[in-house]
Amino acid sequence: MKPIGLAVVGAGYWGPNLVRTAQATPALRLEWLCDLDEDRARAVLGPYTTVQATSSYQRVLDDPRVGAVAIATPAATHFDLVRAALEAGKHVLVEKPLTPSAAESAKLVELAARSGLVLMCDHTYCYTPAVRKIRELIRGGEIGDVQFVDSVRINLGLVQPDVDVLWDLAPHDLSILDHVLPDGVGVEAVAARGSDPIDAGRLCVAHLTAELTTGVMAHIHVNWLSPTKIRTTVIGGSRRTIVWDDLNPVQRLAVYDRGVDLAPAGSLGPDERREALISYRVGDVLVPALPEREALREVMAELAAAITEGRPAVTDGRSGLRVVAQLEAATRSVSTGGALVPVQDVIGEKIIGENVTEENA
Amino acid sequence: MKPIGLAVVGAGYWGPNLVRTAQATPALRLEWLCDLDEDRARAVLGPYTTVQATSSYQRVLDDPRVGAVAIATPAATHFDLVRAALEAGKHVLVEKPLTPSAAESAKLVELAARSGLVLMCDHTYCYTPAVRKIRELIRGGEIGDVQFVDSVRINLGLVQPDVDVLWDLAPHDLSILDHVLPDGVGVEAVAARGSDPIDAGRLCVAHLTAELTTGVMAHIHVNWLSPTKIRTTVIGGSRRTIVWDDLNPVQRLAVYDRGVDLAPAGSLGPDERREALISYRVGDVLVPALPEREALREVMAELAAAITEGRPAVTDGRSGLRVVAQLEAATRSVSTGGALVPVQDVIGEKIIGENVTEENA
Amino acid sequence: MKPIGLAVVGAGYWGPNLVRTAQATPALRLEWLCDLDEDRARAVLGPYTTVQATSSYQRVLDDPRVGAVAIATPAATHFDLVRAALEAGKHVLVEKPLTPSAAESAKLVELAARSGLVLMCDHTYCYTPAVRKIRELIRGGEIGDVQFVDSVRINLGLVQPDVDVLWDLAPHDLSILDHVLPDGVGVEAVAARGSDPIDAGRLCVAHLTAELTTGVMAHIHVNWLSPTKIRTTVIGGSRRTIVWDDLNPVQRLAVYDRGVDLAPAGSLGPDERREALISYRVGDVLVPALPEREALREVMAELAAAITEGRPAVTDGRSGLRVVAQLEAATRSVSTGGALVPVQDVIGEKIIGENVTEENA
Amino acid sequence: MKPIGLAVVGAGYWGPNLVRTAQATPALRLEWLCDLDEDRARAVLGPYTTVQATSSYQRVLDDPRVGAVAIATPAATHFDLVRAALEAGKHVLVEKPLTPSAAESAKLVELAARSGLVLMCDHTYCYTPAVRKIRELIRGGEIGDVQFVDSVRINLGLVQPDVDVLWDLAPHDLSILDHVLPDGVGVEAVAARGSDPIDAGRLCVAHLTAELTTGVMAHIHVNWLSPTKIRTTVIGGSRRTIVWDDLNPVQRLAVYDRGVDLAPAGSLGPDERREALISYRVGDVLVPALPEREALREVMAELAAAITEGRPAVTDGRSGLRVVAQLEAATRSVSTGGALVPVQDVIGEKIIGENVTEENA
């Protein structure tokens, strides 16, 4: 089959990775790297390439060989660039966040649906072997009911010029959550607090609490100022608990048969009952073998597959929209002193589980 | 000098540690172990002891050889036991929390002050070599201004019958914070959220945000349901950042010369200015050598020293009161959906820095 | 049943641990702590004890209440002290090494056998939950054939006045090996090299290679000069590999389904055959739950049980003798430039598997 | 300045890395990728390249644009390929080991010297920021005299078809040692033992002891069968000790001010003297900040610089020869049961310190 012609837009921090992995994907044919600074695009391509550099986005959209564009520019430019691409009949892969506004994101989702084009968000983590396994464990029932989620993503990070730490880092955690939770379960409301202790003009440290539709509390801690790098997510379940330490290559994922159990209530009084029925599981830990695969290559393969098969990508525009709506709710919460903000207030409708919304679409 | 006669009250989880360390403290003379269950007291003392067991607290208080009591009973009993001891003219060491209520705690503080007796809280962590070093680093100015605090204390913990996870675990973090912050700096307000996903009848997971008088945000995560044990505190400063990993014997404390700096503003516009002036420090890490000392032995030594020298203990009743007031504010916050609760609302007066309040006393 | 009267001899580094655990063992009754320095013995017992201190070993041996002695004195004194105890009709628990000489150790083993008394070596590690599990895994066939053993025990250790690093640390590894290997498998020959780079007058760093009767090579690295503490043993098997990291409380033992497999040879030529038949297993890792038990309490319980049941202790004098013979072979090897020294050359007979020798006894 | 034309030879495991980094080196111009299997070469270059693939080594050597070749083929082919390149007047970068024989390696060194061509070994680790820092610390006197070296490089590794584990992995450790030791200090003799427990036809586990000219013992453990990956080197010094854990990105290098000191002897008797004069340093640990640089890019830059400046590369043919001679001594030692084999016996002359031999050249 003929490969799909691709243009990468944006030669900044992430663009070079798209360029590299697109070139390693047989189902894609990289035609262009486009950046306002054409020299930068050329430098990214290097002196040995047959790929063309350009500073003209229009030229890319006019090229009939180009079937899809992959956009890795600042978030503020996403709405215009994605819309133009969809209007030009191109499929789109776009970096997170989809756009900085739920309302605009919803427009893009609608436009793609109307045009029958693939609109895919590069929620890269959803394509890692670890997250795939977590999704499988949760949806396969192996961990039981999710009881709590705790995610820490801290780092000495680049203070971004255009987004705060919530919009920079929390999309990872929120998109993962969106991906691994069972059908029909999602984030219903969000509360967040943050601070800017270095006077950077935007939040550098933030704590986000997401209330799931099941009543479960998920907590996300993002921080640009930590001298140590931590990327750990704990998903507590009624049967097992998952600990994902993404920086531990030896043991990225561990499934603990450890926890507190409460037997179903009998005929005792409330307090005695609880005492009597609490028990502790201290079983084995299983570290599942994970394949070694680069997530971004899987993103590229999924982009090509979704286009070819005429179906939504696994991390489609709707998932991007859900994440943006949650982030917008978080920002509102911060500005109102940490109050719980229903996601519905942002998006005007209930968008919880991925499959549920797909049905409704 | 004649050792001070001591009675330990409570032969449950913590009491045996008090018994052991009291026996290893030359300045103390352990006379009694008192527990409602005298057999349990006898079992803790073992078959080779010359120390007496009793189930009668009155007998302990009537014993003129007893100069001080160390109370390790459930929190709900603290008020009565401490009051009785103070009224009997005994100095008191009491487990955290001082009592379950700020109002009652304040009464005990006042009673001790009036009676000229030592009322000391067993904030054990404040006596560890790590916390002593942290206090020295912060107060000596080596880390600069505190910019953020993040503390994680999670574990597969015992679901306590009488207290929730906030009152069980957060006293450690709050008492440490109280101890290491500079004079005049303290917790001004508290917000907290939590959940009880196993239907245990009390919070098992909680996130507490403390707003310091300097505007800095401190976050504390406590959790009884985590299959892995984590006890890590990060204290970010404008000059250095401290990472304390209490479960890493090789490297309990590390001082990172890593961080984000913002040079003082010049004449540029607000946005450009920020861009231009942000810089990243990626310097060395120093792991200071710490002495090997058991914190609880230091607690015992401090109890004896405070009594002998007629001075408040380092972790005196006031520090216990401050911690209780913060916990009570946290509980109020949880019940009002996570709103920020000023500590002053709980205690009726401003009680921030330890030395400040001592002056006012 | 009446507890067995016990005397602990030696109030130095290890003696206090014997005192503490003996007091916590219902089947024992601690009567004496004996040390040449009676004040030291008194200090170890502390001011609250009913146990007697003495500097007279004879007085201990003359005491009819004393059924057993536990000896924790310098190795050079073991032979005389153990012999005297056995001759006085007392059962004996003795610290490793049994004695500094295989010939002397053999005499003690023979004397104990003749007298019908228990002679037990305090090979403490054999009583840890981790080593018990390793023994179970190996002997139960779960890891297949042992293919290699690698043990690292390094530390900033006390430079001992009376023994070198081989005799100080390697007894741990050799006694563990002796304990966990299948019946009939043991150490046949030993080679060792070492160095004394600080001019301490004895080896401070040593590498010991033990050749098992199966032809397998086991390597032990002991070092007093390492600034970091490592206690890790890897036991590679044809089906699974065990990694024991004794300093990792979270994951002390891990069983890896990872390894290199070689299918049975077919009809190909030698080189092609090998290429074709090598395959790599990259399966899951299992971290078995281990009970929390103090090994030394198990030692005490085993001492009492062996005496009561009139049977050899699990780590009996013969196991102590095998370890001493291996150490003596290692010392010979060091002095002859690292040559392989058969253990039989030291002991004059083949003493490999524990059960085999027990049969012969 | 015009970049130097380069051909990479070998498109197997390592070749693609040479291709990638050569393309990122401005001072080089990649002209060819040569492999017996031209399709494989083409696949490595990918569909977007302007670099030529060929299966003809002669064509590469005949190309006047080619100033240098980088050889990443099996070790057995190195001698012929390097000789042909040198005879064709090309500079050479060659993978380790230089050749499988010290005699042949010496011939290549001599040939390069006679021809005035650069013969460089790709001892990649010597170009890592960590090893550069170690070299600086040792040669700058900061750690004092080297007292012991312990290096562990174990892994579930590919069982190589052409070399055993010693020749596969130990070149890394030996080349690092060669690089960081002070001028005039080197490996004088080698002893090794190994085993092949999976019947792979070659050693899969090996322990190598190197005796330095200072009398110091260095130990290297290499293992293809370990389920866990460890790459740790400890270099103990009289003033400080370096711990290099290459798999710990957070703390790759740590300098410990911990150790055992022995004060200079006074007038006491031998034993008392030692007791009295031993002391323990338990000081701070320093984790130096290291730049983030890819070692292989530094290799490429050094190749270009050595050619341009007409000087030997930092890891020149002589260093490659020294490593090969040590490996050959190790192989002889294994076949003679672990005896100490002087490197001089292999190479016929004393080749210890790198600068010393360069002077003599």
User: Using one digit for the tens of pLDDT, what is the confidence trace for B183-193?
Assistant: 999 999 999 99
Q: Taking CA atoms, what residue in C is nearest to A283?
A: C289
State the chains in contact with D (3 or more Cβ–Cβ pairs under 8 Å): A, B, C
- Beta-carbon separation of B23 and C46 below 8 A: yes
Contact B50 C51 (CB under 8 A): no
Q: Does A270 have pLDDT greater than 70?
A: no
Helix H, strand E, coil C: the string for chain B is: CCCEEEEEECCCCCHHHHHHHHHCCCCEEEEEEECCCHHHHHHHHCCCECCEEECCHHHHHHCCCEEEEEECCCHHHHHHHHHHHHHCCCEEEEECCCCCCHHHHHHHHHHHHHHCCCEEEECHHHHCHHHHHHHHHHHCCCCCCEEEEEEEEEEECCCCCCCCHHHHHHHHHHHHHHHHCCCCCCEEEEEEEEECCCCCCCCCEEEEEEEECCCCEEEEEEECEEEEEEEEEEEEECCCEEEEECCCCCCCEEEEEEEEEECCCCCCCHHHHHHHHEEEEEEEEEECCCCCCCHHHHHHHHHHHHHHHCCCCCCEHHHHHHHHHHHHHHHHHHHCCCCCEEHHHHHCCCCCCHHHHHHHC
Q: Is A287 within 8 Å of C282 when comparing Cβ atoms?
A: no
Q: Which residues on chain B are in Cβ contact (under 8 Å) with C47?
A: 23
Q: Residue A228 is nearest to which of B197, B216, B243, comparing CB atoms?
A: B243
Cα(A108)–Cα(A261) distance, rounded to whole angstroms?
46
Which chain C residue's Cα is nearest to A282?
A: C289
Q: Which residues, 6+ apart, have CB-to-CB distance to D251 below 8 Å?
A: B251, B285, D245, D287
Cβ neighbours of residue C122 closer than 8 Å, sequence gap 6 or more: C70, C72, C93, C94, C95, C96, C296, C299, C315
Q: What does the mean pLDDT of chain A come to? A: 92
- Least confident span in D204-213, D256-265, D279-288: D256-265
Q: What pLDDT, on a 0 to 100 scale, did the predictor assign at position B254?
A: 97
A274-296 pLDDT, tens digit each:
555 788 888 999 999 999 999 99
pLDDT tens digits along D111-126? 999 999 999 999 999 9
Q: Which chains touch C (3 or more CB pairs under 8 A)?
A: A, B, D
- Among chain D residues, the shortest Cα distance to A155 is held by D250
C211-223 pLDDT tens trace: 999 999 999 999 9
Three-state DSSP state, D124:
helix
Partners of A248 on chain B (C-beta within 8 Å) are: none
B137: closest CA of chain D, how far (Å): 15
Low pLDDT (below 50) residues in chain B? 270, 273, 352-361
Interchain proximity D217–C236, CB inside 8 Å: no
Question: Please, are residues C156 and D257 in contact by the beta-carbon 8 Å criterion?
Answer: no
Which of chain D's residues have a Cβ under 8 Å away from the Cβ of C236?
197, 225-227
In the block, tokens 């600080």 appear at: C198
Tell me, what's the ipTM? 0.91
D224/D203 Cα distance (integer angstroms): 9
CB contact under 8 A, C285 and A287: yes
Q: State the smallest CA–CA distance between residue A45 and chain D in angstroms.
A: 10
Q: How many Å lie between the alpha carbon of B173 and the closest alpha carbon of chain A?
A: 18
Residue A323: what are its φ and ψ, rounded to 5°? -65, -40
Neighbours of A171 (CB within 10 A): 26
Residue A249: pLDDT band (50, 70, 90) is confident
Question: What one-character DSSP code corresponds to residue A214?
Answer: T
pLDDT of residue A358: 39
CA-based nearest residue in chain B for residue D283:
B289
Provide Rg for chain B, Cα atoms.
Answer: 22
User: What pLDDT, on the 0 to 100 scale, is given for residue B160?
Assistant: 86
Share of chain C above pLDDT 70, in %: 93
Under an 8 A CB cutoff, do C197 and D260 touch? no
Residue A54 · residue A34 · CB < 8 Å: yes
- What pTM was computed for the model? 0.93
Burial of A203 (0-12, 13-18, 19+ CB in 10 A): buried
Q: Distance from C89 to chain D by nearest Cα, in Å?
A: 36
- Nearest-CA distance A322 → chain B (Å): 23
Chain D residues whose CB is inside 8 A of the C340 CB are: 337-338
Model confidence at D167: pLDDT above 80:
yes
Mean pLDDT, rounded, of chain C: 92
Token pair, residue C199, equals 């001019």
Q: The domain C126-294+323-360 belongs to what CATH superfamily?
A: Dihydrodipicolinate Reductase; domain 2 (3.30.360.10)
**What percent of chain C stands above pLDDT 90?**
84
D274 or C312, higher pLDDT: C312
Angle at B204 between CA B199 and CA B206, to 5 degrees: 130
Contact: B200, A159; criterion CB under 8 Å: no
Q: Which of C201, C227, C256 is closest, CB to CB, to D256?
A: C227
Q: pLDDT per residue over D218-237, tens digit each? A: 999 999 999 999 999 999 99
Between B and C, how many residue pairs show a Cβ–Cβ distance under 8 A?
27
Give the D-side interface with A, CB within 8 Å.
23-24, 30, 46-51, 228-229, 247, 249-250
Is A229 close to D247, i.e. CB distance below 8 A?
no
CA of B16 vs chain C CAs: smallest distance (Å): 13
Beta carbons of C126 and C320 less than 8 angstroms apart = no
Instruction: Count how many Cα atoms sit within 13 Å of the Cα of residue B152 in the half-sphere of its side chain.
Output: 23
Among A5-9, A347-351, A354-358, the least confident range: A354-358
d(CA B32, CA B11): 11
Please count the other Cβ atoms lying within 10 Å of the Cβ belonging to residue D52.
17
Which of B215, B219, B238 lies closest to A207 in CB terms?
B219
Q: Rounded to an integer, what distance in angstroms lies between the CA atom of residue B215 and that of residue B237?
A: 14
D205 vs C217: CB contact, 8 Å cut-off? yes
Q: Which two tokens stand for residue B274?
A: 């920020």
Higher-pLDDT residue of D327, A278: D327
Of D301 and B278, the structure prediction assigns the larger pLDDT to D301
All CATH 3.30.360.10 domain ranges in chain B, comma separated: 126-294+323-360
The pLDDT of residue C355: 41
Q: Which CATH number fits domain D4-125+295-314: 3.30.300.30, 2.40.50.100, 3.20.10.10, 3.40.50.720?
A: 3.40.50.720
- What pLDDT is stored for residue C358 in this prediction? 39
The answer, yes or no, to whether residue C359 has pLDDT greater than 80, is no
- DSSP string for D194-209: EE-TT--SS-SEEEEE
pLDDT of residue B266: 54
D48·A51 Cβ contact <8 A: yes
Q: Do D50 and A49 touch (CB under 8 A)?
A: yes
Q: Out of 1.20.1260.10, 3.40.50.11540, 3.30.70.260, 3.40.50.720, which CATH number does the structure's domain B4-125+295-315 have?
A: 3.40.50.720
Residues from chain A contacting residue C284 (CB–CB below 8 Å): 286-289
Give the pairing type, strands C28-34 and C52-54: parallel
pLDDT at C300: 98
Residue bearing tokens 């649906």: A113
The minimal CB distance from A46 to the residues D23, D229, D250 is found for: D23
Instruction: State both tokens at C136.
Output: 């179970």
pLDDT at A97 > cutoff 90: yes
Picking from C278, C279, C335 by the largest number of D CB atoms within 10 A of its own CB, the best residue to mutate is C278
Residue extent(s) of CATH 3.40.50.720 domains in chain D: 4-125+295-314
Q: Which fold has domain C4-124+295-315?
A: Rossmann fold (3.40.50)
pLDDT of res. B281: 87
**pLDDT digits 0-9 by tens, D333-350:** 999 999 999 999 998 765
Residue A356 confidence (pLDDT):
38
Asked whether A217 and B195 are in contact (CB, 8 A), the reply is: yes
The reported pLDDT for the residue numbered D350 is 57
Between CA C114 and CA B173 the distance in angstroms is: 62
Strand spans (E) along chain A: 4-9, 28-34, 52-54, 66-71, 91-95, 119-122, 146-156, 187-195, 205-212, 217-223, 225-237, 241-245, 253-262, 278-287, 341-342
**What pLDDT digit, counting tens, does each position of C240-290 carry?**
999 999 999 889 999 999 888 877 655 555 455 455 578 888 899 999 999
Residues C323-350 pLDDT 10s: 999 999 999 999 999 999 999 999 876 5
C147: nearest CB among D197, D221, D256: D197
Distance, CA of D40 to CA of D50 (rounded, Å) = 16
Q: Which of A92 and B162 is assigned the larger pLDDT?
A: A92
pLDDT at res. B219: 98
Min Cα distance C98 → chain D (Å) is 24
Please list the residue range(s) of chain C that carry CATH number 3.40.50.720. Answer: 4-124+295-315
Nearest residue of chain B to residue C156 (CA atoms)? B250
Q: Is the pLDDT reported for residue A351 higher than 80?
A: no
